[in-house]
Amino acid sequence: MGNTRSAPTLDDVAKEAGVSTATVSRCLNSPERVVEKTRIRVMKAVEEMGYTPNFAARVMAAKQSFTIGAIIPTMENAIFARGLQAFQDELRERGYTLLVSSSAYKPGIEKEQIRTLVARGVDGLLLIGHEREEQIYEYLERHRVPVLIAWSYSPDVRQTSVGFSNRDAIFELAQNVIDAGHSRIAMISGFTEGNDRAQKRVVGIRDALCANGIDPDSMELVETTYEIDSGANAFVDLMSRPTRPTVVMCGNDVLAAGALRGARKMGISVPEEVSITGFDDIELAEIVSPPLTTVHVPHRKMGHKAAQELIAMVEGSSEGASTCINTHIVSRQSLAKPPKNAATNK
């Protein structure tokens, strides 16, 4: 009755080793509770048969999967990659496995993936940004799945978050920009709908303008998708308007790289004729020319911290403590003083 050519089960191993399934299970999960002689015999059988426990069965029985899920907006650029890698590294070290999905910035897809991951028995979930249907958080609560929000820090909501203040971070950058002498500031932002990170970045710049006596409504703003080309197009759009800005602040480095490309295409030199800034400080920021002045986000630190906190929540040793990660400005060549006689377009 031995199934020679298909995956062995606990039962097969038990028979082979001449013990009960319970003993095999113990050898695997709490080896100290079985006497050495038996254990050696069992482990030998496990090795020889190439046994791997069936996870589905294990999850069902143990109601624990040692698996953490994460849903990020996109895998296509490096913005989330680095933080996520750090997150995964930390998880691995602590014996957890990471399952990743990408939602393509679509709330509908994210919702579906949350259900998929929960149904799969993840012990905890990492989500990017706060804003989503309240119903989703209720669903998660009902299923007793701890959630951690990253890439955004908000002390005044009930979800635990490990992130940074998008508003404050860009406010500081905008202050630098203004201090450099700019007053005609334009912005390229990713779509803000359903994206509190993007929203806060717009707000941050507006606030900085206000704080310096500049009318925030004078800021030209283009919202677009998150690809490089979109950044290029948005830049061309902005520079074709009646009054040219002296600086274009971008919602992230990818858009800024696009803006740079747009500038090159239009034959506009950066930063001599117009300055450009980014956000995130991913590798890209240093590679483009001129390199970007941007907001440095300590992605790895955030990833590690997020993993630690989420695991603590999963294991019940924490109720969920939010952490604010500090960002800082990195000055490179893409930001300079505005040109002396910054003429209007034409």
Q: Which residues contribute to the site for DNA (CB under 7 A)? A: 9-11, 18-23, 25-26, 28-29, 33-35, 37-39, 51-54, 57-58, 60-63
Q: Is 97 in the site for a second copy (CB under 8 A)?
A: yes
Q: Is 228 in the site for a second copy (CB under 8 A)?
A: yes
| 181 within 8 A of 159, measured Cβ to Cβ | no
Q: Is 95 in the site for a second copy (CB under 8 A)?
A: no
Q: Is 303 in the site for a second copy (CB under 8 A)?
A: no
Of 141, 143, 15, 145, nearest to 70 by C-alpha is 145
Which partner, a second copy, DNA, none, binds residue 139 by CB below 5 to 8 Å per kind? a second copy
Q: Give the list of residues 6+ apart from residue 294 with CB closer than 8 angstroms, or none.
A: 173, 253, 256, 277, 278, 279, 280, 281, 285, 329, 330, 332
Of 95, 101, 91, 155, nearest to 128 by C-alpha is 101
Q: Is 266 in the site for a second copy (CB under 8 A)?
A: no
Q: Is 59 in the site for a second copy (CB under 8 A)?
A: yes
Q: How many of the other CB atoms lie within 10 Å of CB of 208?
A: 23
Three-state secondary-structure class, residue 212: coil
Q: Is 120 in the site for a second copy (CB under 8 A)?
A: yes
CB-nearer residue toward a second copy: 124 or 338: 124
Q: Is 21 in the site for a second copy (CB under 8 A)?
A: no
Which partner, DNA, a second copy, none, binds residue 115 by CB below 5 to 8 Å per kind? a second copy
d(CA 170, CA 157): 21
Q: Is 41 in the site for a second copy (CB under 8 A)?
A: no
Concatenating the DSSP letter of every residue in 23-50 gives HHHHHHH-GGGS-HHHHHHHHHHHHHHT
Which partner, a second copy, DNA, none, binds residue 74 by CB below 5 to 8 Å per kind? a second copy
Q: Least distance to DNA from the beta carbon of 112, Å?
A: 17
| Residues at the site binding a second copy, with contacts judged by CB under 8 A | 5-7, 50, 52-57, 59-60, 65, 74-78, 81-82, 84-85, 88, 92, 97-102, 104, 109, 113, 115-116, 118-121, 139, 142-144, 228, 257, 260-261, 283-284, 286-289
